[in-house]
Amino acid sequence: MDGTESGTMGMLLALLVAALLAPLIGHRLARWVIVPSVVLEIGFGILLGPSVLGIVRENATITLLADLGLALLMFMAGYEIDFRRIKGRPLNRALLAWACSVALGLGIGWALFGASRTALIVGLALTTTALGTVLPILRDSGALGGAFGTRFLASGSVGEFGPIVLIALLLSGYRPWEGTLLLALFFALAGAAAWAATRPRSERWALLIRATLGSSAQVAVRLCMVVIVALVWLASAMHLDALLGSFAAGIVVKLMISANHEGEAERVESKMDAIGFGFLIPVFFVVTGVRFDLASLLAEPVLLLLPPVLLVAFLLVRGGPEYLFSRGDVPEAQRPALVLFSATALPLLTVLTTIGTRGGSMDGAHAAAIVAAGMLSVLILPQAGGALLRRTAGTAAPAERSREEG
């Protein structure tokens, strides 16, 4: 092993130690304050990165692992979507709410930065929902069931997938009509894959999937990875955002498993959870901290006011329409919690700021301020939303039962 390889392994070890310490520290802090692991992971990344200790610096290997982590995060978000559960009114109202968020977000971006690429980036940042980040929090707390869980799944799905589509359409570098045609072609190919995934499989194939879930073969897990890489490669080859491919892969795999191996869906999900949340996804969040340009942010103290301002903007732009369009979908007392969860944003902020800094339309200080706002949203909003849900749990159930009886 030469010096370069040894250095990469040392940096990877530092990343994995940070990923291990984050939940341990979060667990110890829980007696006083709830701090999500993702915030601690990013914090460790800032500490390890060039802004502070300089122990970890990005290279090709670290970047590849981080990209795989982001792909797994989007895959798990797509896998969580249950179209049978959210179709109809929940999805339609979520789409209307997100359309209003887009109009508000782009309007604010245009007002601040004029008709520019920066305005698009800031505007789209205000329309995102961190579905992949929030779902584990809701799932662990048992809040995904009932009307609230259904409405948030619809809201989060649209708030995650919609911005990915607009990123591919508006920030891919194509002219609008070229981007639209390529996006339509990608959707056609992904739709064909989804249709093929729902076709009945032979009993022999079903037995192979079932039998190998407990063996070293792990056919279902390997199939998931093939689908992820295939659709990410397809999106990248068409110069669309790779996140579009990984999110679509989650939907395709979920349809395939549900249609042919419904009894194994949770086992497959647990296997992918282990790969994603046990290894690659924490690496992505720690590397996000490594990329955080703390020095540039501190060099312009006035920008330290931007994260709290953006946090309020998340609540107004993303949460406001959700509050208006959720009337009748969830108990009245739970609508503020829906606002808080829907306004939580982070993963796509890192993607948007990376696009902005690489294209020269955004400097490191503004990018760091936007990511810091996302960190604040993950630190504050889900905890506040969870507290509201716990407070209203006793009154929500009778209201929900009376609505169902009516």
As a whole number, mean pLDDT of residues 149-160 equals 93
Q: What is the pLDDT of residue 82?
A: 82
Which residue, among 277, 332, 255, has the nearest Cα to 41 in the 3D structure? Answer: 277
Distance separating alpha carbons of residues 261 and 265, to the nearest angstrom? 7
**What is the band of 394 on the pLDDT scale with cuts at 50, 70, 90?**
low
Mean confidence (pLDDT) of the chain:
87
SS3 of 63-112: the string is HHHHHHHHHHHHHHHHHHCCHHHHCCHHHHHHHHHHHHHHHHHHHHHHHH
* Kind and range of the H or E run holding 263: none
- In this prediction, residues 323-343 reach a mean pLDDT of 94
- Does the structure show a pLDDT above 60 at 398? no
Element (H, E) at 138: helix 131-141
Model confidence band, residue 402 (pLDDT cutoffs 50, 70, 90)? very low
pLDDT in tens, 266-307: 788 888 989 999 999 999 999 999 999 888 888 888 889 999
Read off the tokens for 52: 């502070």
- The 10 Å Cβ neighbour count of residue 184 is 10
Question: How far is residue 83's CA from residue 153's CA, in Å, rounded to a whole number?
Answer: 10
SS3 57: coil
Which of 107-111, 297-301, 315-319, 331-335 has the highest mean predicted lDDT (pLDDT)? 315-319
Number of DSSP helices (H) and strands (E) in the chain, helices first: 20, 0
Distance CA 221, CA 47 (A): 34
pLDDT band at 148 (very low <50, low <70, confident <90, very high): very high
CA torsion angle for 105, 107, 109, 113 (degrees, to 10)?
Answer: 180
Confidence of residue 1 (pLDDT cuts 50, 70, 90): low
Q: Is the dihedral of CA 53, 57, 61, 62 positive or negative?
A: positive
Which pLDDT score, from 0 to 100, does residue 84 have? 84
- Residue located via tokens 């109009």: 103
User: What are the tens digits of pLDDT across the range 217-247?
Assistant: 888 889 889 999 999 999 888 888 888 899 8
86 bridge partner residues: none
| Residues 93-135 pLDDT 10s | 999 999 999 999 999 999 988 888 889 999 999 999 998 788 8
Query: What's the whole-number mean pLDDT along residues 153-171?
Result: 89
Burial level of 361, CB count in 10 A (0-12/13-18/19+)? Answer: middle
> How crowded is residue 308: how many other Cβ atoms within 10 Å of its Cβ?
12
Q: Residues 346-369: what's their mean pLDDT?
A: 88
* Distance from C-alpha of 166 to C-alpha of 154, rounded to nearest angstrom: 18
Assess whether pLDDT exceeds 50 at residue 405: no
Task: Please count the other Cβ atoms lying within 10 Å of the Cβ belonging to residue 393.
Answer: 16
pLDDT at residue 53 tops 90: yes
pLDDT at 325: 95
Q: Looking at the predicted structure, is the pLDDT value of residue 176 above 80? A: no
The Cα–Cα gap between 254 and 95 comes to 22
